[in-house]
Amino acid sequence: MIVVIIGGGPAGLTAGIYAGRTRLKTIILEKTLPGGLATSTSEIENYPGFPDSVGGPQLMKLFEQQAKKFGVKIQLAEVKEVDFSGDPKIVKTLRTDYRAKTVIIATGSKPRVTGAKGEEDFLYGRGISFCATCDAAFYTDLDVLVVGSGDAAIEEAIFLSKFANKVYISVIHDEGIMDASKIAQERALQNPKLHFIWNTMVDEFVGDEKGLNKVMLRNLKTGEKIPVEVQGCFLFFNTQYRHLPGHPEIKRPGIYPDE
């Protein structure tokens, strides 16, 4: 009998290391490449033990090597079906059914995207980011846009202001209304580097072979297109965003990760 771990990102690999060290026969099922979303981060500066930072792919390769050191097998396969009703538990892939005493689900997450025109051209290292802590230093003395007004968006915008020249914030609400806590709002409104653009959502991402250089916003009340010249855009919006009038999800269902 084996331990099956569904997902080979940082959590899945860590679970594999723990299981392998206790001499359990363990297999990790990963549908793409070991390392998950961390492999798309070019530089990680907030992981302990790497004072000079480390590349995401490099760090995840170390995770993978450590898991294999303890006898963990990593199988590139997508899980199609599970049956946890009995014992053993059954995990089915396209070619193999695995029978396990224990199944650990570590399927991770995907960043929420806007679905706006041109977005796919600038994901992952070409201008659109999902982690200010990871990528803020790349935008030192440049202009960036944050999409969203919840706690994550506002806190990350404040962090970005330590590096960027200007931080624009696209907010779907009327002027003065945000989703963040009052304390976060007060801090943001007092920050001279933060510039709010109210009643807006992303309409299009624009750039060239070098990367992103402009985000076109659309005013939700007037329909006016507002060009914002920036070199980076950070997405931190909540589920309200996808229910706005004219949101691309209506035209392109299925591109958003489940909540």
Which domains occur in the chain, in start order? 2-105 (3.50.50.60), 119-250 (3.50.50.60)
Query: Alpha-carbon distance 118 to 144, whole Å?
Result: 17
The larger pLDDT score, comparing residue 4 to residue 239, is at 4
> Which one of 83, 97, 121, 135 is the catalytic residue?
135
Query: For 146-160, how does the pLDDT look when each residue is reduced to its tens digit (9 = 90+)?
Result: 999 998 899 999 999
The larger pLDDT score, comparing residue 152 to residue 76, is at 76
> Which one of 83, 87, 97, 134 is the catalytic residue?
134
- Model confidence at 259, pLDDT cuts 50, 70, 90, reads very low
Residue 233 annotated in active site:
no
Per-range mean pLDDT, top range of 33-47, 128-142, 205-219: 205-219
Angstrom CA distances, 77 to 6, 32, 72, 182, 232, stand at: 10, 8, 15, 46, 34
Q: What is the pLDDT of residue 246?
A: 61
Query: For 159-207, how does the pLDDT look when each residue is reduced to its tens digit (9 = 90+)?
Result: 999 999 999 999 999 999 999 999 999 999 999 999 999 999 999 999 9
Q: What is the pLDDT of residue 254?
A: 35
Query: Alpha-carbon distance 255 to 257, whole Å?
Result: 7
Mean pLDDT confidence for 205-213: 92
Single-letter code of the amino acid located at 119:
E
Burial of 119 (0-12, 13-18, 19+ CB in 10 A): buried
Q: Has residue 248 got a pLDDT over 70? A: no
> Which one of 52, 87, 131, 258 is the catalytic residue?
131
Percent of the chain beyond pLDDT 90? 71
- Model confidence at 256, pLDDT cuts 50, 70, 90, reads very low
Mean pLDDT confidence for 132-139: 86
- Phi, psi angles (nearest 5°) of residue 143: -100, 135
